[in-house]
A and B are shown apart, each in its own frame.
Chain A
Amino acid sequence: MIKQRWETRPLEIWDRAKELRAKWQKSIDNRQHLLAQGNTVESDWSPGFEKYLKIVEDNPVGAFMASKSHSFARRARLASEVRGWGRELCGYVNNCWGAQFLGRDMDGGPFPYRDMCVPFPDVCDQHLKRGQQCMDLSPIPRWGGDMPIYPGERDPKRDEEMIEHRVYCNLKIIADIERIFGIEFDDERFVENIKLREKLSAYGLRISQLMTQVPTPLSAKDLYSFYTLGDLTKLNPEEINDFWKSFVDEVQWRADNRIAAVGGERYRYMEAHPPAWYYLKYYRYLESYGAVCIGSQYSHIMSGTLEVKEDGSLAHRDVTPPADKPIRTREDAVRQWITEARGNRFKDDEYCRKWAITDFARGFKADGAIMALWRCGVGCTLTRKEQALRLSEMGLRVLHCEGSQPGDRTDMDEHGFLDRIDAWMESQGLEKLDDR
């Protein structure tokens, strides 16, 4: 038996989350809309087209394949690779678009071909290439908005210009879609959705704040199961808002009553970037040592919960970005959602990458860190070793592990990883709780 230090219990909201996920899958399968290969950041306008258009991220599709059918995912990736798409491209993408090349989905049905694509506009990794596969196969419109990056000192004036450029890109995408497909954008619905989105940000912030508590009421593994609902997997905004409100209420209750995510919590570790999505069992394995993952800059910043303060530190926002200007028009709404010049990707900014991680470690009371060295793409390893040195100087023990892209387990030495975890834990004097 694992030694229990804190009371723990499963989240009650799990079943509701599963229902939402199933509903999202059905919405793609039913195919009553135009389908767009989209992305989280640059498609928040999609509710304005909700009568006609369904945004489908390749991340959840590819992840679903990787988790449900390894053999199908392998066939799909091979189909992608023989067309020249390397393994440096995200495994989710190669799973998803490999299935497109095969012409069928995991369940044997026809692949739901897309009508347009709006890839993630990130200059620093492989995201921008994502839309190319589906565009090349069956020429469809593709929009790649810009994500301006400036690696120098922060300059508010420059940031303002960068925001304006992103606003322009998004307005143009909306106008182009209206023109090319002859469909009408519902500005009122879009404005409503952006207002709702502000509420979601506040929920995300609260949950992130609660995860700094010892014991944490929610682990990173739990968080990863929920945070795509409403973000990567876009559903009815009101329904999502209602779900997140219930979720926050439950996590708050757990925090107030010291209900731990991991009953044996005695060691808190952080990560730097996405985990090995196809091998999340390592979270459970670490729990046997009483170690709980409290997330990463990736998981917490994805929902915009952290910001660089005036004194240069990285910390939770005091409040979510206030709607300090009235949101009446399409342009107001776009400007409201694009609050960061560098988007929510500023975690990758060379300016703050080396030091922000130490602030994160302090804020979340981390004892150690797993710094994955993923091959290219999401989790680009740039400065990862330097970050590890900064954390070591703080007294955190850092474990490095290597592997391939999300959704592609071919390059992951699973046994070797567990062996490294044993060495990491035991050399810090921690034994498995059930061995004691």
Chain B
Amino acid sequence: MYTAGIDIGLENIKIVILKDASVAASLTAPSGGKERGKRAEALYDEALLRAGVSRNGIHRTLATGAGKFDADFADGNIVEEIADAAAARYFLKDASAAVDIGADQTRVVSIGADGAVTETVRNQKCMAGLGLALEYMAERLDFSIEEISLIPPERAEGVTVNDGCPVFAELDALELLNIGVPRDAVAGAVTRMTVVRLNSVLRDKDFPDRNRTVLTGGVAKNRAVTDALKALSGIDFVIPESPEYGTALGAALKAAD
């Protein structure tokens, strides 16, 4: 049986096609702003092609993410937290928490013994767009995403940016550049800010289990952030190979229910 999950995020659309709970195809592309409904549909058709299945061959397609209501072609939609929990259980059978860090949103989901969601936390405004902030800073500092992902907070060497708000952090970073601080030190400070903000969300309600927490979302690909977050929080996150597909995968899994 084929099922599909589409995660329409602020920055990117992610699609996962499952065949009997195994990934048959996965695909991602920029969301396209107000055109995201059309973009998602085009990407969906492309993913089906890669999976070698027609629309009629899909048992059910569920959309999730901030743009889930734009996916008119889907059979329905589910809230992101339920998809996150399903994905976490896919990656780790006894996962008790799922953390997803995307371009705009950060979510922490507690999972009960039966796999049901028992608590959820979404970031407050003071850390909205954390993933985007990292991307912008990489561009401003003339690093690729891959390069900035390897610059740990230690490289900051005492240089700091505001860790209460990514917008203020970006402003501080520009000031540091203007006064001649080396760009890798600024990048290290930005990474530290990111980790401090994330750690505060982890501690909002239920603190995730140190050994049974799955980390997904695009920011989970940033090695510098994940290493520093593991060190600061003490959580030994399980990070799948392609973490950006986590929520889409969860939606595809729930489509099989």
Question: Which residues does A use to contact B, with CB under 8 Å?
Answer: 373, 385, 388-389, 392, 397-398, 400, 402, 413, 419-420, 422-424, 426-429
Please indicate the chain A residues that have their CB under 8 angstroms from the CB of B124 in the complex: 373, 400, 402
Bound together, the chains give a CA A397 to CA B110 distance in angstroms of 12
> Is B80 within 8 A of A397, CB to CB?
no
> Is B120 within 8 A of A423, CB to CB?
yes
Bound together, the chains give a CA A420 to CA B120 distance in angstroms of 10
> Is A420 within 8 A of B122, CB to CB?
yes
Apart from A398-B205, A400-B122, A428-B117, list 10 A-B contacts with CB within 8 A. Answer: A385-B204, A388-B205, A389-B205, A392-B206, A397-B119, A426-B78, A427-B81, A427-B82, A427-B117, A429-B116
Bound together, the chains give a CA A261 to CA B237 distance in angstroms of 46
The total of interchain contacts (Cβ-Cβ below 8 angstroms) comes to 35
Question: Which residues does B use to contact A, with CB under 8 Å?
Answer: 66, 78-82, 109, 116-117, 119-120, 122, 124-125, 204-206
> Is B205 within 8 A of A402, CB to CB?
no
Write the chain A residue with the least CB distance to B124: A402
Please indicate the chain B residues that have their CB under 8 angstroms from the CB of A373 in the complex: 124
Bound together, the chains give a CA A177 to CA B202 distance in angstroms of 55
The residue among B79, B80, B82, B119 with the most chain A CB atoms within 10 A of its own CB is B79
Please indicate the chain B residues that have their CB under 8 angstroms from the CB of A429 in the complex: 116
Bound together, the chains give a CA A288 to CA B139 distance in angstroms of 44
Please indicate the chain A residues that have their CB under 8 angstroms from the CB of B205 in the complex: 388-389, 392, 398
Please indicate the chain A residues that have their CB under 8 angstroms from the CB of B66 in the complex: 419
Instruction: Quote the shortest CB–CB distance from B17 to chain A (angstroms).
Output: 24
8 residue pairs bridging A and B, Cβ less than 8 Å apart:
A392-B205, A398-B205, A422-B79, A424-B120, A426-B82, A427-B81, A427-B109, A427-B120
> Is B79 within 8 A of A427, CB to CB?
yes
Bound together, the chains give a CA A385 to CA B66 distance in angstroms of 25
> Is A423 within 8 A of B204, CB to CB?
no
Please indicate the chain A residues that have their CB under 8 angstroms from the CB of B119 in the complex: 392, 397
Write the chain A residue with the least CB distance to B117: A427
Write the chain A residue with the least CB distance to B125: A402
> Is B125 within 8 A of A423, CB to CB?
no
> Is A423 within 8 A of B116, CB to CB?
no
The residue among A413, A422, A424, A429 with the most chain B CB atoms within 10 A of its own CB is A422
Bound together, the chains give a CA A367 to CA B122 distance in angstroms of 20
Please indicate the chain A residues that have their CB under 8 angstroms from the CB of B120 in the complex: 423-424, 427
Bound together, the chains give a CA A48 to CA B109 distance in angstroms of 57
Please indicate the chain A residues that have their CB under 8 angstroms from the CB of B204 in the complex: 385
Bound together, the chains give a CA A312 to CA B116 distance in angstroms of 36
Q: Which 8 A-B pairs have the closest CB atoms?
A: A427-B117, A423-B79, A426-B79, A427-B81, A423-B81, A402-B125, A422-B79, A427-B120
Write the chain B residue with the least CB distance to A411: B125
Instruction: Quote the shortest CB–CB distance from A304 to chain B (angstroms).
Output: 33
Please indicate the chain B residues that have their CB under 8 angstroms from the CB of A392 in the complex: 119, 205-206
